[in-house]
Amino acid sequence: LLLDDELQQQEDHVVQLFQDTSLSVVFIKDIELAKVSKSFSKGVVLDEDEDAKVEGSGSGFIWDKFGHIVTNYHVVSKLATDTSGLQRCKVFLVDAKGNSFYREGKIIGFDPAYDLAVLKVDVDGYQVKPANLGQSNNLRVGQSCFAIGNPYGYENTLTTGVVSGLGREIPSPNGGAIRGAIQTDAAINAGNLTLIDVHSVGTSTSSNYQSSCKTETKFCKRTWTSTMPVISIFISTDGYIILGKYKAQVRSTWQIHFVLPKRGKKIYSSENNLGNSGGPLIDSYGHVIGVNTATFTKKGTGMSSGVNFAIPIDTVVRTVPYLIVYGTPYSNRF
Amino acid sequence: LLLDDELQQQEDHVVQLFQDTSLSVVFIKDIELAKVSKSFSKGVVLDEDEDAKVEGSGSGFIWDKFGHIVTNYHVVSKLATDTSGLQRCKVFLVDAKGNSFYREGKIIGFDPAYDLAVLKVDVDGYQVKPANLGQSNNLRVGQSCFAIGNPYGYENTLTTGVVSGLGREIPSPNGGAIRGAIQTDAAINAGNLTLIDVHSVGTSTSSNYQSSCKTETKFCKRTWTSTMPVISIFISTDGYIILGKYKAQVRSTWQIHFVLPKRGKKIYSSENNLGNSGGPLIDSYGHVIGVNTATFTKKGTGMSSGVNFAIPIDTVVRTVPYLIVYGTPYSNRF
Amino acid sequence: LLLDDELQQQEDHVVQLFQDTSLSVVFIKDIELAKVSKSFSKGVVLDEDEDAKVEGSGSGFIWDKFGHIVTNYHVVSKLATDTSGLQRCKVFLVDAKGNSFYREGKIIGFDPAYDLAVLKVDVDGYQVKPANLGQSNNLRVGQSCFAIGNPYGYENTLTTGVVSGLGREIPSPNGGAIRGAIQTDAAINAGNLTLIDVHSVGTSTSSNYQSSCKTETKFCKRTWTSTMPVISIFISTDGYIILGKYKAQVRSTWQIHFVLPKRGKKIYSSENNLGNSGGPLIDSYGHVIGVNTATFTKKGTGMSSGVNFAIPIDTVVRTVPYLIVYGTPYSNRF
Ligand SMILES: [Ca+2]
Ligand SMILES: [Ca+2]
Ligand SMILES: [Ca+2]
Ligand SMILES: [Ca+2]
Ligand SMILES: [Ca+2]
């Protein structure tokens, strides 16, 4: 079977696109120390040892040559809301020549309303390659797109598809809605999103807590006020669910369900791999058109193949400068 | 990164294909009234209020300029089998100029054996764009295909892939088999198909009813004769399962399992989003080659990525005229 | 909508690729006899009757003109480890002219460390078409790839995607790791891999055995020493899980969980459809670059769309000759 010149060129284009853009993609590891370590407090990230626990991981991309990193808020929410002083964040990157290194990531700003956060890493001595930014206001359903993420450390992952829909509304970590989201059939593996059938909330999985609630709604409200670590399920009135570990504020338009671990037990920390969540969605020119954010699933479907979402880059471009300058969204800058 | 002319042309082709064909795709909402409303009985569809409940939703496509709409039988099965007089169906469409409007859909005919139904909406004052029909007898595994659906109202969704297989057999709502089905790896999000692991039927999920049955088979038989609303699981001898809410007739070649809601409780009505089920599967020429019907899953796999099915257009073309003329399949027309 | 020459040529290429390569793909059915049958012992495979039970099925491909078939070890693990004399294996193939036939498959060799096995079928009177082998050391992320399998008997299935990642590490049936695995977003339907949320191991699904264990870890250890048929879950320290029925050896780097059937009950035998597991992953030239092996899922994610793995062909090429000659891996040949 021969391969036509044009077909070969087309494959080479995707290969090249991956090689060009993956230098800007980083891997992010959330770490919780058992006790405050001296070396950590000096900004040097240690390898995990017996005293450090990986809490979660995800992807991000290099915003500028100063070492600002853009990712999802939910990838670094523990660090962002840390009061214990034990949360750390390790960022694995490559420089423009392909040399890999890692640094501690300091939280610069975050906006749960758009599920965005900015980290900064010390890139002294390295020349890093910021991602090329595109526009999302002129996207067209049907155009090709490419999701890049770094679920494992130094090795990026590519998935391909088309823009499936535009102007979608997806739930944000603060219980609001992110408008204008891009839908794609390029697989986004948001590893932390556990699919739990809604039925099981009312029956077996939640059995540990069933005794304390009468109706399903009460069940949710009660567990919500609990201070235990939870895996939360956000269910919109439109029937979407998203699951994660971040604490969300409750809006009346979302129903919220929990699946709680047994009392006194930690949730498996190794579950929190966020896959390529936080990584860039890229067009055929190699420009970032969105931030891969979540794989949702219709309430009750138990699957989500082909329904993936990204925060549009125009929203990111409007939000990130304020996060860098004020550490907070524009609306909160006073 | 530059984009070669041919690559740009290829992306433009998919974009154009979506724009051309999506005008023919409609969104279908199943509504149950609390009481018979006067305005509804005059053919005017009200917005849902406290007295109307969305029972399910799905996609369909415009068959002709008279306002006939083709969809899956299972998308409108409640309306098709309504005896209460409380079932209504709301169809959201756009005209050839892109103006969106909605109308009540009246059921014209249906054939559970092929999971097909025809609705009619009043298109007076609007020029609608019927879908271009292709052929399914000359399809080839490997050719490109495009699934369009309208899971949200006025916004279509596109997923892309290839014809993965031909001549598949899938279960039909009447317990028989639909032959010649097209298999594709373009994602079809049949939102109403709940994946329930078969193991859980025998253990936790069905625990509400376990007391009344000794063996798993008996369990199934018994609940089958129940008049309660059910989520049914059809399990073929080949190991496929499909889940839905329609009442199926039992053939000896299918095993049937149920997962029942608690007595006295309604199943979550918002779960019934049928995604792009009922919408068209389209070839590279923009011609409809099938009706996206269901995402099946191998019994026991718990997932279905890349295994999606469509009813071949040749079957649709043979069936629909009889449904329009007789309201019933050819075999039942006497 | 017109179709540009180049676009048509591109579609024709994929169609041609499928037609050329699918002749080398076989369907494998695992059968357990109720009693040793005379006809079976003579090498003639009977149709399944009341006395024979399909234990599982999967895909494979033709290695040479002598009738050697390469597949995953886990597709034929029951036959490979059979001591009862009741395990049989039926291979469905087509010859170079497209004539379909089936033969009993005899196990020639297997290597659980790479999840590979070789069967031999009698191809007397038929000219079969061995697969063209490629190389996996020069693969590039982004290049197109095509997964072919035979989940149903005589009908192959094609899914398409790109190479998503290289150098992945996936768990092997002996509890070790297979290095250099290819990751792809072409859907691989490893039908036997049941996704069971890890949480359910500790709660409902495992309730039959909960009484005999105090902690989750003990639970696992205990059931591991059981001689009952199990569905095992391998959980790597990296958070991957794979489920299957084969008995794996425990390495300290994997956590292992079980979901056991009720005592005295067989696990549903029809569940074990291995989809296109064991079939070839092919590049745009029609060359085999890997053996489709499993769809993994991040521990706790409950889904795996877009994360599929194949054993690299270079590993297969190094391993298979020893399996044919010695019936065992090179390292065990003494
Ligand atoms: Ca795809
Ligand atoms: Ca459900
Ligand atoms: Ca199973
Ligand atoms: Ca099962
Ligand atoms: Ca979990």
CA geometry: angle B135, B138, B142, nearest 5 deg: 110
- Contact assignment for B11 to A203 by CB distance below 8 Å: no
**Cα gap C88→C106, rounded to integer Å:** 8
- Per-residue pLDDT tens over the stretch B279-327: 999 999 999 999 998 644 433 333 344 567 899 999 999 999 999 988 7
CA distance A285 to chain C (A): 14
CA of A142 to the centre of ligand 1 (A): 12
Q: Out of C17, C239, C286, whose CB is closest to A273?
A: C239
Q: What would the 3-class secondary structure string for chain C be?
A: CCCCHHHHHHHHHHHHHHHHHHHHEEEEEEEEECCCCHHHHCCCCCCCCCCEEEEEEEEEEECCCCCEEEEEHHHCHHHHCCCCCCEEEEEEEECCCCCEEEEECEEEEEEHHHCEEEEECCCCCCCCCCCCECCCCCCCCCCEEEEEECCCCCCCEEEEEEEEEEEEEEECCCCCEEEEEEEECCCCCCCCCCCCCHHHHHCCCCHHHHCCCCCHHHHHHHHHHCCCCCEEEEEECCCEEEEECCCCCCCCCEEEEEECCCCCCCCCHHHCECCCCCCEEECCCCCEEEEEEEECEECCCCCCCCCEEEEEHHHHHHHHHHHHHHCCCHHHCC
Residues of chain A with pLDDT under 50: 40-45, 48, 50, 191-273, 295-305
Q: Which of A30, A59, A74, A111 is flagged as catalytic? A: A74
Q: Which residues of C are catalytic?
A: 74, 115, 277
pLDDT of C209 reads 28
Q: Which residues of B touch A143 (CB under 8 A)?
A: 11, 14-15
Query: Whose CA is closest to B95, among B64, B131, B126?
Result: B126
Q: Which member of C4, C159, C208 has the closest CB to residue B185? A: C159
Nearest to B320 by CA among B138, B108, B171: B108
Pair type for strands B280-282 and A100-104? unpaired
- Ligand 4 (single-atom ion) residues, CB below 5 Å: B 197-199, 300; C 194
Angle at alpha carbon of residue C37, lines to C32 and C38, rounded to 5°: 150
Instruction: Report the residue from B165, B202, B239 with minimal CB separation from C270.
Output: B239
For residue C51, give how far its alpha carbon lies from the nearest alpha carbon of chain A (Å). Answer: 37
Q: How far is the CA of C199 from the centre of ligand 5 (A)?
A: 5
HSE, side-chain direction, 13 A CA sphere, residue C1: 24
Please list the active-site residues of B.
Answer: 74, 115, 277
Give the gap in angstroms from C-alpha A330 to the nearest C-alpha of chain B.
30
B25: which residues sit within 8 A by CB, 6+ positions away?
B59, B60, B61, B62, B131, B148, B149, B150, B156, B279, B280
Interface contacts (B, C; CB < 8 Å): 146
Nearest residue of B to residue C161, measured between CA atoms: B161
d(CA A18, CA B323): 51
Q: Which two tokens stand for residue B324?
A: 């329009």
The answer, yes or no, to whether ipTM is higher than 0.85 is no
Among all ligands shown, which has an atom nearest to the Cα of A245?
5
Q: What is the pLDDT of residue C275?
A: 65
Task: Give the distance (Å) from ligand 2 centre to CA of residue B302.
Answer: 13
Best mutation site among B6, B160, B162 for testing chain C: the one with the most C CBs within 10 Å?
B162
d(CA C249, CA C232): 11
What is the pLDDT at residue B273?
A: 46
Among A157, A196, A205, A284, most C C-beta atoms within 10 A, so best to mutate, is A157
C-beta separation of C200 from A261 below 8 A: no
Chain A residues with CB under 8 Å of C299 CB are: 268, 270-271, 273
Cβ–Cβ under 8 Å, residues C138 and C283: no
Q: Which of A17, A193, A261 sits opposite C301 (nearest CB)?
A: A193
* % of chain B residues with pLDDT over 90: 37
Task: Count how many pairs of residues, chain A against chain C, have C-beta atoms within 8 Å.
Answer: 149
pLDDT at C142: 96
Give the chain B residue whose CA is nearest to the CA of C15.
B142
What pLDDT score was predicted for residue C237? 31
Chains that touch A (3 or more CB pairs under 8 A): B, C
What pLDDT sits at residue C168? 83
pLDDT of B260: 29
Question: Residues of C with CB below 8 A from A305's CB?
Answer: 303, 305-306
Cross-chain residue pair B185–C186, CB shorter than 8 Å: yes
Minimal Cα–Cα distance from C248 to chain A, Å? 22
Question: What is the A297 CA–ligand 1 centroid distance (Å)?
Answer: 18
- CB contacts of B186 in chain A (<8 Å) are 185, 306
Burial status of residue A248 (CB atoms within 10 A of its CB: 0-12, 13-18, 19 or more): buried
- Give CA–CA dist C333/C323, Å, rounded: 9
- In B, minimum Cα distance to C190 occurs at B301
State the pLDDT at residue B178: 82
Judging contacts by C-beta atoms under 8 Å, the chain A residues touching residue C300 are: 191-192, 194, 268, 270-273
Residue A86: per-residue pLDDT: 87
Residue C187: predicted pLDDT: 80
Assess contact for B303 and C304: CB atoms under 8 A.
Answer: yes
- Ligand 4 centroid distance, CA of B209 (Å): 19
- Name the interface residues of A facing B (CB cutoff 8 Å): 6, 9-10, 13, 16-17, 20, 140-144, 161-168, 183, 185, 197-200, 202-204, 237-239, 284-286, 298-303, 305-307
Distance CA B89, CA B118 (A): 12
Distance from residue C307's CA to the centre of ligand 5 (Å): 17
* Residue A189 pLDDT: 64
Residues in chain B, pLDDT under 70? 36-56, 152-154, 171, 174-176, 189-275, 294-307, 328, 330-334
A133/A176 Cα distance (integer angstroms): 26
By C-alpha distance, which of B22, B82, B86 is closest to B51? B86
Nearest CA in chain C to B184: C159
Catalytic status, residue A115: yes
Q: Cβ(C117)–Cβ(C239) under 8 Å?
A: no
Give the gap in angstroms from C-alpha A91 to the nearest C-alpha of chain C: 18
Q: Is 0.80 surpassed by the pTM of this model?
A: no
Bridge partners for B240 per DSSP: B298
- Chain B residue with CA closest to A6: the answer is B6
**DSSP letters along A223-266, please?**
HHH--S--EEEEEETTSEEEEESS-----TTEEEEEEPPPTT-P
Measured in Å, residue B18 CA sits from the centre of ligand 1 at 16
Distance from CA of A188 to the nearest CA of B (A): 13
For residue B271, the chain A residues in CB contact (below 8 A) are 198, 239, 298-301
Gap from B330 CA to chain A (nearest CA, Å): 34
Pairwise CA distance, residues C55 & A289, whole Å? 48
Which residues in chain C come in under a pLDDT of 50? 40-46, 48, 50, 191-273, 295-305
pLDDT at A307: 67
User: Which chain B residue shows the shortest CA-CA distance from A235?
Assistant: B270
Token digits of residue A70? 């853009």
pLDDT of residue A17: 96
CA distances from B61 to A35, A51, B80, B118, B291 (A): 61, 60, 18, 10, 9
Residue B2 with chain A: CB contacts under 8 Å: 285
Chain A residue numbers with beta carbons less than 8 Å from the beta carbon of B6 are 6, 9-10
Catalytic, A122? Answer no
pLDDT of residue C3: 83
